[in-house]
């Protein structure tokens, strides 16, 4: 098929039940279809979309890498070269070798600058939701492989404790996750991309066929508790037994673990894991939507990749600082050791955890938007952190052991419950506006919220 760009006009049926949506394709480039295609009606799920809008249709997936290329190995080698050059450079000036070897000294200065520019050019990315620029030093395929290894570790430990699909708690999580996932795609529904098959295919059937026996047995032995089958960018997928014609599966899979642990997480491979301890504690769709929205936000924003890249860059910066301080204070061992210890503490305990707290706050903010767009009252998120603060206080009063980093705010990887509540309070006016305009809220028949009304008390 000739690669082209077409306009796809979709007129959804806004009824609560299943409906038909007329999709009409119009050519936007010369050399495409000579006339307007007949109206093609596709039967989709029961989840209602926005009123009539136009969407861009492309015959291949959109490449989001800068310069249309991603070289993970090159990025790693460039960072190593930068580290080596900047570590050696202070000693060159310390022993005045730059006067004897000016060319080598200049090269040691130019190489890290050039390598840094290439890394920034390859890894610089802008978030589609927050429009914040960040460095992503891992490709999507690397991210998927990392997530798959972590998920296999999860199946080995907690796989035998998965609930069955007929449990009411599973149905509750599935109901909430379906709404959150439906609004976690492109922020503007009119800009969502409808794309053709992805190559190479990443469907689980092909991956498991090529995976080692132990990983394949894990997936077969512990299937997902439930699925959230909703993909706004792929309204209809034809099945095929040919693995080269398999579409990438973008369905989210739910795994509900029967453990009294108050925790949940989501992985880039689109698995959502929730423990029954959290479900029993909250026991409310709105409260649960705040948690799931937060975890899905981590995946959408690729926070795991961003955090790993930041830690790599921070390590290089502190290696250079240690090298400079050692070159300047090598005649004073006590000062040199003290300075190195300070840099080690900052690198190992302060900088990385401060950045982790920043990502948590961003996930809270984006999760609040998902929650509001999905038709859940965002003020329930404030109640969630009141509950979590009470749980922490009860654990402390009961004498449960807590680690030292959890007692010191600067050493925590997550903000305190009070800080998170205060952060969400600042974002509440915007979230309430999204909640008022939410199509899903109006379809549920929820009354108009008022700024004077307050969320439920614990």
Tokens of 66: 């800068």
Looking at the structure, do residues 420 and 313 belong to the same domain, yes or no? yes
Q: Residue 69 domain-assigned?
A: no
Residue 445's pLDDT is 57
Task: For residue 120, tell me if it sits in a domain.
Answer: no
Helices (H), 301-411: 303-329, 333-345, 352-373, 380-397, 404-407
Q: What is the pLDDT along the chain (458 residues), one digit of tens a residue?
A: 444 444 444 444 444 444 444 444 444 444 444 333 343 334 344 444 444 445 555 555 554 444 444 455 567 777 788 888 888 888 888 888 878 888 888 888 888 888 888 888 778 888 888 889 998 888 888 898 899 999 999 999 999 999 988 899 999 999 999 999 988 875 554 455 444 444 444 444 444 444 456 777 787 888 888 877 555 555 555 666 665 555 556 688 999 999 999 999 999 999 999 999 999 999 899 999 999 999 999 999 999 999 998 998 898 889 888 888 888 888 888 998 899 899 999 988 889 999 999 999 999 999 999 999 999 999 999 999 999 999 988 887 877 767 777 778 888 999 999 999 999 999 999 999 999 988 887 766 555 555 444 556 55
Residue 457 lies in a domain: no
**163-201: b or e for each residue (b if 16 or more CB lie within 10 Å)?**
beeebebbebbbebbbbbbbbbbeeebeebbbbebbeeb
User: Is the same domain home to 131 and 46?
Assistant: no
240 and 373 in a single domain? The answer is yes
- Residue 35 falls inside a structural domain: yes
Let me know whether 44 and 131 are in one domain. no
Kindly state whether residues 335 and 236 are assigned to the same domain. yes
Domain presence at residue 67: no
pLDDT at position 450 is 53
Do 339 and 240 have their domain in common?
yes
Give 134's strand partners.
125
Residues 303 and 398 both lie in one domain: yes
Residue 113 lies in a domain: no
| Same domain assignment for residues 38 and 149 | no
Total-model pTM: 0.75
What is the rounded CA–CA span in Å between residue 318 and residue 181? 39
Domain boundary among 33, 58, 83: 58
- Quote the number of domains for the chain: 2
Residue 350 lies in a domain: yes
Residue 456 lies in a domain: no
| One domain for residues 46 and 165 | no
- Predicted confidence at residue 40, as pLDDT, reads 39
Q: Is 253 helix (H, G, I), strand (E, B) or coil?
A: strand
Using the 3D structure, point to which of 58, 81, 100 is the last residue of a domain. Answer: 58
Q: How far is CA 19 from CA 15, 47, 48, 184, 402, in A?
A: 7, 9, 9, 22, 53
Tokens encoding 23: 């999709």
Task: State which residues form the domain around 402.
Answer: 127-444
pLDDT at 366: 96
Distance of CA 147 to the CA centre of its chain: 11
Residues 353 and 254 in one domain: yes
Q: Which residues pair with 135 in a beta bridge?
A: 124
The reply to whether 26 and 135 lie within a common domain is no
* Strand spans (E) along 61-218: 124-126, 133-135, 193-194
* Same domain flag for 52 and 172: no
Count of other CB atoms within 10 angstroms of residue 216: 14
């Amino acid at each position: 098929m000739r690669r082209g760009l077409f306009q796809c006009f979709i007129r959804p049926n806004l009824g609560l039940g299943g409906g038909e949506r007329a999709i009409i394709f119009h050519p936007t480039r010369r050399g495409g279809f000579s006339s307007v295609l007949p109206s093609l009606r596709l039967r989709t799920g029961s989840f209602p979309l926005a009123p009539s809008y136009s969407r861009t249709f492309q015959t291949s997936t959109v490449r989001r890498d800068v310069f249309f290329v991603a070289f993970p190995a090159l990025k790693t080698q460039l960072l190593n070269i930068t580290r080596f050059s900047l570590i050696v450079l202070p000693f060159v000036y310390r022993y005045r070798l730059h006067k004897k070897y000016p060319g080598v000294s200049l090269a040691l200065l130019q190489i890290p600058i050039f390598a840094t520019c290439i890394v920034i050019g390859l890894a610089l990315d802008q978030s589609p939701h927050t429009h914040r620029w960040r460095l992503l030093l891992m490709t999507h395929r690397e991210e998927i492989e990392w997530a798959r290894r972590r998920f296999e570790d999860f199946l080995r430990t907690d796989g035998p404790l998965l609930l069955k699909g007929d449990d009411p708690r599973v149905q509750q999580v599935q109901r909430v996750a379906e709404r959150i996932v439906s609004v976690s795609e492109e922020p503007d529904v009119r800009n969502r991309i409808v794309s053709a098959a992805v190559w190479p295919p990443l469907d689980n059937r092909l991956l498991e066929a090529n995976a080692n026996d132990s990983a394949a047995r894990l997936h077969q032995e512990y299937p997902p508790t439930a699925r959230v089958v909703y993909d706004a960018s792929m309204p209809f997928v034809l099945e095929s037994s040919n693995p080269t014609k398999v579409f990438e599966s973008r369905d989210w899979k739910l795994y509900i673990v029967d453990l009294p642990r108050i925790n949940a997480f989501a992985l880039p491979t689109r698995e959502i894991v929730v423990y029954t301890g959290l479900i029993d504690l909250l026991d409310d769709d709105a409260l649960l939507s705040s948690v799931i929205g937060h975890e899905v936000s981590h995946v959408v924003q690729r926070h795991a990749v961003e955090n790993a890249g930041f830690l790599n860059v921070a390590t290089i910066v502190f290696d250079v600082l240690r090298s400079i301080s050692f070159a300047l204070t090598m005649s004073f061992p006590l000062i040199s050791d003290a300075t190195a210890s300070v840099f080690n503490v900052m690198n190992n305990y302060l900088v990385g955890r401060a950045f982790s707290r920043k990502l948590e706050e961003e996930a809270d903010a984006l999760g609040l938007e998902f929650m509001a767009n999905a038709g859940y009252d965002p003020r329930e998120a404030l109640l969630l952190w009141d509950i979590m603060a009470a749980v922490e206080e009860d654990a402390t009063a009961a004498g449960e052991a807590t680690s030292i980093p959890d007692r010191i705010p600067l050493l925590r990887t997550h903000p305190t419950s009070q800080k998170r509540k205060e952060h969400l309070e600042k974002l509440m006016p915007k979230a309430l506006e999204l909640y008022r305009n939410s199509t899903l809220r109006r379809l549920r028949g929820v009354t108009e919220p008022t700024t004077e009304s307050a969320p439920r008390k614990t």
